[in-house]
């Protein structure tokens, strides 16, 4: 038999609901169940457009072991006031569904005339994650706005030095508490050193200048590596790094003019062998089969080359 439980709302929930309904101060409200009562877990105020701060406000509210409800205010209105999104979080579910891309995927699936296959849904989500955002450089504060987390000025300076080939390696990390992308290291790194730069228990972003030869030419190719050591990281950490990845790449390419030859996603440094990197940067081109097979020559031993001339043409004498 299925059982239903009903919980009453505490005074703190009632008060903040009344305040949130009548104004635009609050962007996100986290509601938890404590002592069989709905209680306010956290609140976040609005500072940007709803989609520009969605992931940076919602994802940090999700705990790995505590279910909760999140109400997120949109900028659109109806006849009752602002419209809100109701999110229900359970640790045994995927946090992908509560991210901005997950919400957009939900809207898309609702509008689709027919259910999509798992592969189609995955492709649609990838395309949604690759939507370009308006990213600009704020020179006054030395941060790059428009990503899920701003980039610290030291990280910006390191990427500029990397672009100018003054250094050949940059490692970046997320500071979830301060909501920043910070510089982690710029050690001189050769290909043989690269696997040792990949942490085994935490995600990282890497920019590596891959120096090599291809078909007789010396090349220096920029490779962006997103290292995510599987389920050794929390759901929140995986979601935050995934959310910041594409805007970071867009910023590097469009604002800092770093030409990225290849983007990789790996679980551990052991994958970064010289053969693997070479084949990723220069994938083998598979020749297409000829539409018509070349006719075979006559059977038996090949004779000498035969020369034919038009009738009446005489052979010149030596």
> What gap in Å lies between CA 64 and CA 47, rounded to an integer?
26
Label residues 273-283 b or e (16+ Cβ within 10 Å = b): eeeebeebbee
Taking Cα atoms as reference points, which of 23, 73, 59, 57 lies closest to residue 239? 59
3-state secondary structure of 125: helix
* 147 contacts 179 by C-beta, under 8 angstroms: no
Q: pLDDT at residue 316 above 90?
A: no
CA 155 to chain centroid, in Å, comes to 18
The pLDDT, as a whole number, for residue 286 is 53
Taking Cα atoms as reference points, which of 105, 95, 110 lies closest to residue 127? 105
> Residue 219: how many CB atoms within 10 A of its CB?
13
Question: What is the sign of the dihedral through the CA atoms of 204, 213, 280 and 277?
Answer: negative
- CATH T-level topology, domain 136-281: Severin (3.40.20)
Question: What is the sign of the dihedral through the CA atoms of 257, 243, 233 and 39?
Answer: positive
Tokens linked to 280: 């990723």
Q: Domain ranges in the chain?
A: 8-114, 136-281
Per-residue pLDDT reduced to its tens digit, 254-290? 999 999 999 999 999 999 999 999 999 999 875 444 4
Determine what percent of the chain is predicted with pLDDT higher than 90.
Answer: 52
- CA neighbours within 13 Å on the CB side: how many for 132? 9
Q: How confident is the model at residue 307 (pLDDT cuts 50, 70, 90)?
A: very low
Taking Cα atoms as reference points, which of 125, 53, 64, 67 lies closest to residue 96? 125
Same fold, 8-114 and 136-281: yes
> Residue 28: how many CB atoms within 10 A of its CB?
24
Per-residue pLDDT reduced to its tens digit, 13-51? 999 998 888 788 899 999 999 988 999 999 999 999 999
CA 2 to chain centroid, in Å, comes to 40
The whole model's pTM is what?
0.49
Helices and strands counted in the chain (H then E): 7, 12
The pLDDT, as a whole number, for residue 318 is 43
Superfamily of domain 8-114: Severin (3.40.20.10)
The pLDDT, as a whole number, for residue 7 is 78
Q: How confident is the model at residue 122 (pLDDT cuts 50, 70, 90)?
A: low
What DSSP string runs through 152-185? PHHHHHHHHHHHTTS-SEEEEEEETTTTEEEEEE
For residues 164, 165, 166, 172, the Cα torsion angle rounded to the nearest 10 degrees is: 90
Per-residue pLDDT reduced to its tens digit, 44-102? 999 999 999 999 999 999 998 899 999 999 999 888 889 999 999 998 888 888 999 98
């Amino acid at each position: 038999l299925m059982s239903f439980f009903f919980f009453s709302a505490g005074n703190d929930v009632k008060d903040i609901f009344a305040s949130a309904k009548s104004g635009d101060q609050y962007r996100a409200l986290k509601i938890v169940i404590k002592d069989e009562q709905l209680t306010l877990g956290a609140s976040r105020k609005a500072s940007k457009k709803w989609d520009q701060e969605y992931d940076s406000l919602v994802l940090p509210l999700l705990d790995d072991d505590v279910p909760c409800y999140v109400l997120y205010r949109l900028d659109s209105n109806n006849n009752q006031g602002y419209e809100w999104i109701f999110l229900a979080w359970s640790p045994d579910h995927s946090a992908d569904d509560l991210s901005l891309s997950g919400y957009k995927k939900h809207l898309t699936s609702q509008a689709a005339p027919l259910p999509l296959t798992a592969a189609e849904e995955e492709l649609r989500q990838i395309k949604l994650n690759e939507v370009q955002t308006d990213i600009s450089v704020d020179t006054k504060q030395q941060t790059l706005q428009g990503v899920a987390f701003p980039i610290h000025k030291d990280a910006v300076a390191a990427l500029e030095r990397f672009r100018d080939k003054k250094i050949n390696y940059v490692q970046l990390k997320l500071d979830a508490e301060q909501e920043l992308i910070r510089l982690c290291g710029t050690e001189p790194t050769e290909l043989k050193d690269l696997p040792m730069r990949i942490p085994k228990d935490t995600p990282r972003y890497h920019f590596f200048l891959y120096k090599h030869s291809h078909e007789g030419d010396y090349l220096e190719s920029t490779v962006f590596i997103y290292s995510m050591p599987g389920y050794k990281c929390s759901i929140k950490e995986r979601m935050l790094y995934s959310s910041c990845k594409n805007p970071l790449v867009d910023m590097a390419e469009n604002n800092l003019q770093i030409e990225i030859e290849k983007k990789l996603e790996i679980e551990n440094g052991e994958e970064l062998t010289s053969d693997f990197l070479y084949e990723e940067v220069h994938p083998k081109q598979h020749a297409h089969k000829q539409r018509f097979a070349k006719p075979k020559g006559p059977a038996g031993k090949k004779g000498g080359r035969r020369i034919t001339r038009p009738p009446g043409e005489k052979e010149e004498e030596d």
